[in-house]
Amino acid sequence: MNNFNLLAKLNPNLILKHLPNAVIVTDLGGNILWLNENTAALFEGTKSALRKHTLDELIINGLDSVKSSIAKDAPVATAAISLSDEEFFVELSAVENDDKYYISISDTTAITNFLSTAEKSGRLNKDKNQMICKIATELKSPIQSIQGFSKALLDGLGGELTEKQAKYARIISKNAVDYLYFLDKFIEFAQTESMCVPLNLQVFDVVNAIQNIIRANEDLFEMKNIKVNFDAEEITKRAIYSDENMLKIILQNIIEASVKLTDLGLIDIKLTYPDLVEVRKSGITVKEGQRENSYLKISVIDTGVGYTESDLEDLTEPYVHMLRSNRKNLVRTFGLGSARNAVKALNGSWEVRSEVMQGCVITIILPIEKE
């Protein structure tokens, strides 16, 4: 409610001078009739000096903004100029009474600058990610060459190596593999954060897709002696409408994170249909006509060491980890960040529950029908 609707019925000089905002009273032509001390402070001048100016001289398009505020019965954002010629941003509310405009003005420079900076940062981040996507091949090619040549040396392509040479070649090969994996996760995060690659929505067999992902990671499971259970018994409609590649990004990164935290344990991957109450609670807007099997719930449950509360706070925020020394956590965060970005791109929801030494449960809910 606009406070001036009440104040305009009272003696303004008795009320307005005590308000916390800057207040100006003008005639219908924008000539200043009265103002309070807060106005003088805001515009960096004295009251007498300000009265020599019109509203349009202090506030850019001041009269138009006042009329717009009255017409909309809502605040209007605009710019103002102080008596020291400094431009700043304000929000004004106004009412008309007895052939006068009663105007309340708030300085919004700080929040406007913050939003402007955030918007600019968002654009720069998107531009940065698009650049990374475009030069991804150039970033990876030198490391792939190092990896290939070091492996060739170990295979004896350049002749037999001494024990010391073989040792160095193995170190070079391992570091090249590790760095290439880091680059893959870094580039994947950039791609999913700014969606450099458009979604490819189509119908596919979700059960078959997940089984293929599990099979592709069998060596990883065997290396850590991890048993994987896949339960899709509840699923009556295997054909879903979504992006299969995005689903692979989601599950591959979740599985890799689970494997790293699990030794001699178990990973359960379960598909169910969430009820619509759960869908709404997850933050997804349920549209008219949708049913429970309009959504798919994928739960990945492991028996690993779990995450601490501080881990959970920035589990999918790699920028937070940039200044930290543990690169393994950074790589993991790139992966899980990509998974969460992919879930967001598919208009789904993401939840992580974990306790130290109690394992971890990552639950995603995705819409699976064509709108």
Percent residues over pLDDT 90 in the chain = 58
pLDDT (tens digit per residue) in 123-167: 666 777 778 788 888 888 998 999 999 999 999 888 888 999 999
- Strand locations in the chain (E): 22-27, 32-35, 76-81, 87-97, 100-107, 202-205, 227-231, 239-242, 266-272, 295-302, 349-354, 360-367
Q: Give the number of C-alpha atoms closer than 13 A to the C-alpha of residue 28, restricted to the C-beta side.
A: 4
Q: What's the rounded Cα separation, in Å, for the pair 333 and 335?
A: 5
pLDDT (tens digit per residue) in 20-48: 678 999 999 999 999 988 889 989 999 99
Q: Give one DSSP letter per residue of 162-181, joined into a string.
A: PHHHHHHHHHHHHHHHHHHH
pLDDT class for 6, splitting at 50, 70, 90?
very low
Q: What is the mean pLDDT of the chain?
A: 87
Strand arrangement of the beta sheet that strand 349-354 belongs to? 227-231, 266-272, 295-302, 360-367, 349-354
pLDDT (tens digit per residue) in 55-92: 999 999 999 999 999 998 988 888 899 999 888 888 89
Q: pTM of whole model > 0.75? A: no
pLDDT class for 325, splitting at 50, 70, 90?
low
Question: For strand 266-272 and strand 227-231, is the pairing parallel, antiparallel, or unpaired?
Answer: parallel
